[in-house]
Amino acid sequence: MTAVAHEPLTQEEVLLEGFLALDTPEGFRAELIEGEIVVTPPPDGEHEKYISRIVRQVIKKARTDMDVSGNKGLTLRSGGACPRDHVIPDATFAPLERDLFGDAGSWMPCDGVAMVLEVTSTKPRADREAKRRCYARGGIPLHLLVDRETASVTLFGEPEKDDYRQLTTLPFGKPLTLPAPFAFDLDTADFL
């Protein structure tokens, strides 16, 4: 039997292999964001309340029928020499006719995703900054951020390279207009 010489793994490949092999405790979420493994604990009830309020409105009011998936792993282009980002939005929305989630594995590409939702968690900096850059690099058209510390909601649009060119931030209580394919005003009055 002849030994096969293998190329040594790069640091990025070792990081990705280690990340994919993680066995996180039930309810915890592990993500690979810009070359850093980020583990977050299960969310609290307030965090889930915001997600529920938004998902209900999208299902009832969006002009296009939307599929929604909570905690769906997305693989996205990364910046620099880092391995691909593996990010888990709080909710991922895609037009129903695309049927993106039906045959998807644990991690899926972001092609066809219409919007991702993030509610700030115990690691708000990652939610506000690093994930925003990941979603922009992935070309996700809309990114909705509910920031519990600032009591505001921000809609990012027009992704270009590492960021979004357009953003609208409003305090809780003000309606936020979601463009097509959603095409409705998101009511944030009960976020207060």
How does pLDDT run across 95-124, given as a tens digit for each residue? 999 889 988 888 999 999 999 999 998 778
The mean per-residue pLDDT over the stretch 168-175 comes to 98
Average pLDDT along the chain = 91
Domains of the chain: 11-191 (3.90.1570.10)
The pLDDT tens digits for 174-188 are 999 999 999 999 999
**Is 53 in contact with 191 (CB distance < 8 Å)?**
yes
Asked if omega into 159 is within 30° of 0 (cis), the reply is no
Threshold 0.85, pTM exceeds:
yes
The mean per-residue pLDDT over the stretch 28-43 comes to 91
Q: Which long-range contacts (CB under 8 A, 24 or more apart) does 105-110 make?
A: 106/73, 107/73, 107/74, 107/75, 108/72, 108/73, 108/74, 108/75, 109/74, 109/75, 110/74, 110/75, 110/76, 110/135, 110/138, 110/139, 110/140
